Structure 1
Amino acid sequence: MRITEIDFEDRQPIDAYGAGGFRVGGARYEGALALLPSGPRPWPEAPAAAAQLSCEVFAPVLAEAAEIDVLLVGMGADVAPLPDEARAALEQAGIGVEIMGTGAACRTYNVLLAEGRRVAAALLPV
């Protein structure tokens, strides 16, 4: 069997998630996290409940829309629908949106990143 090392170029995969935060590139981030083409950043705009996600909350994502094809939204432990207004704003900016639990979003992000896709993630903690 041949094992090929994955090259993430300048982007960093998610190393771990849980206990209210994330580890990316060896750095620990408490609370919600946005993984953008410019790099990981705390996402203080994120509300405590997924149902309260609004257009304004996604401002950091929309600012980098030209470099994002798909946004994975990790809704925490449970999946909830994204409010129509927020989904419409993201799609109008040319960003495809996929909603899932945070664990699934972390795993999917790493796979798409390894494929060289133009992916971003907005993750609520678990």
Structure 2
Amino acid sequence: MKLQPDKSDVQTLTAHGPGWVAINNERVESSVVVGSRGERFEWDASDFSQIGAEHFAKLAGLGAELIIFGSGKRIRFPQPAWLQPLMAQRTGVETMDTPAACRTYNILASEGRHVLAALLIEKPEGQ
């Protein structure tokens, strides 16, 4: 029997580094939302202090079963009030640093789950 890895057609986070992520090998240097069903759009924040309820409200209308919030270089939790639209529709939200969010998104997306990664991409210090 020959074993071969499953081929997935979902968007994959193929790499990450300080101030960037790669989606299907395309380097992205600004905060982004990427989804397992082809969703992809800029998330207008370059620092955690710029994130608010409107950022999470925008995600609520996308129908994902889980939102993975990559909070940048370190883990920082959104205020509970910001998550109300997601909680009202029983959408799960997990918070982790952005590198961990990239890895977790890839695993869940490859399982066929409808998942979104909302990734805060912070500029490296000194830039």
TM-score range, shorter chain: 0.7 to 0.9
Normalised by the length of structure 2, the TM-score is: 0.82
Give the drift of 1:88.
2.0
Change (3 A) 1:8 1:86: farther
Deviations 1:23-80 (A, max 9, x none): 1112221111101334222212x3511x553221124322212xx1000000111111
1:64 paired with 2:62, answer yes
Counterpart code for 2:4: T
The CA distance in 2 between the partners of 1:85 and 1:52, in whole Å, is: 15
The CA distance in 1 between the partners of 2:99 and 2:88, in whole Å, is: 27
Task: Mark the runs of 5 or more structure 2 residues left unpaired by the alignment.
Answer: 123-127
1:5 paired with 2:5, answer yes
The CA distance in 2 between the partners of 1:99 and 1:59, in whole Å, is: 16
- 105-114 or 34-43, which deviates more: 34-43
CA contact (8 A) 1:54 1:85 kept: no
Rg larger in 1 or in 2? Answer: 2
Mapping for residues 8-19 of structure 1, pairs under 5 Å = 8-9=8-9, 11-19=10-18
Change (3 A) 1:4 1:61: farther
% identical equivalent positions: 31
CA contact (8 A) 1:74 1:101 kept: yes
Deviations 1:69-111 (A, max 9, x none): 0000001111112111112221113310000011110000000
1:40 paired with 2:40, answer yes
Task: Mark the runs of 5 or more structure 1 residues left unpaired by the alignment.
Answer: none
